[in-house]
Structure 1
Amino acid sequence: MATTAPPNPAPAPKRARRGSGAVTLHDVARLAAVAPITASRALNTPEQVSPEVRQRVTEAVAALGYVRNHQAGALASARSRLVAAVVPTLSGPVFGPMLQALTEALAERGYQLMLGQSGYVDSREDALLDAIIGRRPDGIVLTGVERSPEARRLLLASGIPVVETWDLTPAPLDLLVGFSHADVGHAVAQFLVQRGRRQLAVVAGDDERSRRRERAFCQAAAEAGLPAVRVIRVPAPTTLKRGRQALCQLCESGPAVEAVFCSSDLLALGVLTEAQARGLAVPAALAVVGFGDQDFAADLNPALSSVRIDGQAMGRQAAQFVVDRAEGRDIPERVVDLGFSLIERGST
């Protein structure tokens, strides 16, 4: 039932008189001349109050700069409507499409995304997960399937839905959407072998997923009877500069390389840049394959062949997993293999 204003409403407080200095719901109620429970209803279940009360409370919120305590609401409903995602880096473009799709798909269902960056080397994931779990999100979206024993313990004990992405494993923690890095490495090696390339090289980041692609690439080359693949590892996250430096190393030692598989498109761009500086014809003298199929890959000259991962589909599926689990729906298929596409362009 709506509450009407008394004849002489209380004067508006300039600031909340609390030790923290924060504006409270009681301050909003005083300014709107309603009871605190009515102010709460106007904000949380506005259909239960009259339009006139809703307007007064809304104006009071705006005048005071009141920020609602979502944590208190989450405790009451056992739902935070918050989802946390952890990626190794926010500086590289490869995770962008997944995060964008994840954000949009969650927002459509009334959830918000909180991002964390774990790093590649000396990962901060354990401490980050401890902080995230303490805030009781409705779901956690992680990159990869490699976890420390402590991280696995925290996640399993939390009871929070967990979606692992960007990888495949026969034993996921909970839910999984990704692709096989070993299959990627094998497919790229076969692709280059079929085009008559024999002296192969890999320029790879030093993270575990890149190394898995590297190992599968080398194994497939050996199975085809090719000479040993020359491998150069660089720190992750990878950069154009590291790609240039890697091709310098390859050119200055050993036989001439005929094809290079890079663990990122940025590395591949660096290889292409250094090849042009050295007068190496691409693809006649050197074929180059990247990973990620970033927006710039098709616009290079020559256009870069690359492995395409559907990051948008990954983000949408991760969001669906989280929402289904948070809202109590059955999930018959807990693992989704999105696969990949090898896009052939001018660099091969």
Structure 2
Amino acid sequence: MKNASDAKKSPARPPTLEDVARAAGLSPITVSRALNTPDIVRPKTVAKVKEAVQLTGYIPNMLAGGLASRRSKLIAVVVPQINNSMFIDTIQAISDELALRNYHMLLCVSGYSPETEADIVSTLLSRRPDGIVLTGIHHSSELKKCVLNAAIPVVEIWDLTPTPLDMLIGFSHEKIGNALARFMLGKGHQRFGLIWTPDQRAALRHKGILDVFATHTGLTFTDSHVPLPATIARGREAMAQLLDRGEQYSAIICSSDTLAQGAIFEAQSRGLRVPEDVAVIGFGDLDFAQCTLPPLTTVKVDRWKIGQQAATLLADKIEGLPVAESVVDIGFTLIERGSA
């Protein structure tokens, strides 16, 4: 006969709502109310339940607990990259603002692929988020159908269109391209090099530049396309390719500050003065832009404000509060510094 110690131990089970109720000396229904609708429960009771939850290690099942209210308290956020400084402030602002409204962020990375984005969103929707933040306005038909069928609030960010899926916080990339070209032309430049990544929002800025160029005669430009992600090293390589062509450029326009900084490094390594011999301008006004030598001329967008307003719009709509504007254009500012 086997000793009890020899018997196979049954796996430990996770603590249940009933365990919390016993630890708190309350009924399960009271504990459930304290966890799901604390506003209608006495503060002392809520505090007692929280203490029991901590004591037992209970993890509330937000999907099951949210069935009555249809709330999971999760907001799904899909961005192309997390190692891109352009998106970091926006992501942090979304997280901070959602936390103030008692929501939690579920972050996913699509890698600039519409197909990957669609797969991610389909998986996220199975987790029943209360809302979704999507980067950009160019999505696959599968994603659009999936999101519309889910019938939950959606905010698109970092782009602009009068016909978003639901709500939008962004700015016009084409207008930024227009502004970049007009600024450089206003400085008297006629021979341009363009260092550019292939993502759709950068392509819109590129189009904005070429639209302005088309209205002027006598100018020349050469494109140098670099793969994603944009890095200082790739900006330097692209600048080297342009200069190795043997052509003279008076100005370099880049699709990001990181590429612009790489272009400056390469120009300086060849004895070129910035901006006297060649002017350089970027996009994004990243943290290092004002600290470079020379400081970088660039375009600033309020990345933090995009995140704050996106989170606020979602939370307001989820909670049935009025949404004054479903499309918000936060605009941009061209900041002139020493590089151009």
Provide TM-score, normalisation by structure 2.
0.91
The yes-or-no answer on 1:146 pairing with 2:138 is yes
Over 3 Å counting, the alpha-carbon distance change for 1:39 and 1:161 in structure 2 is closer
**2:191 corresponds to:** 199
The yes-or-no answer on 1:264 pairing with 2:275 is no
Which of 65, 71, 77 is residue 73 of structure 1 equivalent to?
A: 65
Deviation at 1:240, TM superposition (A): 0.7
Which of 188, 209, 223 is residue 180 of structure 2 equivalent to?
A: 188
Over 3 Å counting, the alpha-carbon distance change for 1:67 and 1:322 in structure 2 is same
The yes-or-no answer on 1:137 pairing with 2:126 is no
Which of 81, 85, 88 is residue 89 of structure 1 equivalent to?
A: 81
**2:108 corresponds to:** 116
Which deviates further from its counterpart, 224-233 or 245-254? 224-233
* 8 Å Cα contact 2:173-2:205 kept in structure 1: yes
The yes-or-no answer on 1:299 pairing with 2:299 is no
Q: Which amino acid aligns with 1:184?
A: I
Cα deviation code 1:127-186 (max 9, x no counterpart)? 110011122222111111001010111111110111111111232111111111111111
Over 3 Å counting, the alpha-carbon distance change for 1:74 and 1:57 in structure 2 is closer
Distance in 2 separating the partners of 1:117 and 1:256 = 40
Distance in 2 separating the partners of 1:317 and 1:56 = 35
Distance in 2 separating the partners of 1:315 and 1:261 = 27
* 8 Å Cα contact 2:114-2:140 kept in structure 1: no
* 8 Å Cα contact 1:120-1:237 kept in structure 2: no
Distance in 2 separating the partners of 1:278 and 1:120 = 34
* 8 Å Cα contact 2:63-2:128 kept in structure 1: no
Over 3 Å counting, the alpha-carbon distance change for 1:71 and 1:203 in structure 2 is same
* 8 Å Cα contact 2:75-2:105 kept in structure 1: yes
Which deviates further from its counterpart, 229-238 or 326-335? 326-335
**1:255 corresponds to:** 247
Which of 159, 166, 169 is residue 174 of structure 1 equivalent to?
A: 166
Which deviates further from its counterpart, 287-296 or 34-43? 34-43
Percent identical across equivalent pairs?
44
Distance in 1 separating the partners of 2:46 and 2:328 = 45
Cα deviation code 1:223-280 (max 9, x no counterpart)? 1214342111111221111000000000001421111111111111111111121111
Over 3 Å counting, the alpha-carbon distance change for 1:173 and 1:234 in structure 2 is same
Q: Which amino acid aligns with 1:137?
A: P
Secondary structure of the structure 2 residue equivalent to 1:347: coil
Secondary structure of the structure 1 residue equivalent to 2:201: helix
Deviation at 1:39, TM superposition (A): 3.2
Provide TM-score, normalisation by structure 1.
0.89
Over 3 Å counting, the alpha-carbon distance change for 1:226 and 1:151 in structure 2 is farther
Distance in 2 separating the partners of 1:35 and 1:174 = 42
The yes-or-no answer on 1:239 pairing with 2:221 is no
The yes-or-no answer on 1:126 pairing with 2:86 is no
Deviation at 1:73, TM superposition (A): 2.1
Secondary structure of the structure 1 residue equivalent to 2:59: coil
Q: Which amino acid aligns with 2:247?
A: P
Distance in 2 separating the partners of 1:50 and 1:152 = 43
Distance in 2 separating the partners of 1:69 and 1:269 = 48
Distance in 1 separating the partners of 2:140 and 2:74 = 24
* 8 Å Cα contact 1:193-1:224 kept in structure 2: no
Secondary structure of the structure 2 residue equivalent to 1:291: coil
Distance in 1 separating the partners of 2:131 and 2:20 = 32
Q: How many pairs are equivalent? A: 331
**1:328 corresponds to:** 320
**2:156 corresponds to:** 164
Q: Which amino acid aligns with 2:71?
A: R
The yes-or-no answer on 1:230 pairing with 2:222 is yes
Which of 213, 228, 250 is residue 221 of structure 1 equivalent to?
A: 213
**1:282 corresponds to:** 274
Secondary structure of the structure 1 residue equivalent to 2:315: helix
Unmatched 5+ residue regions in structure 1?
1-16
The yes-or-no answer on 1:315 pairing with 2:325 is no
* 8 Å Cα contact 1:118-1:124 kept in structure 2: yes
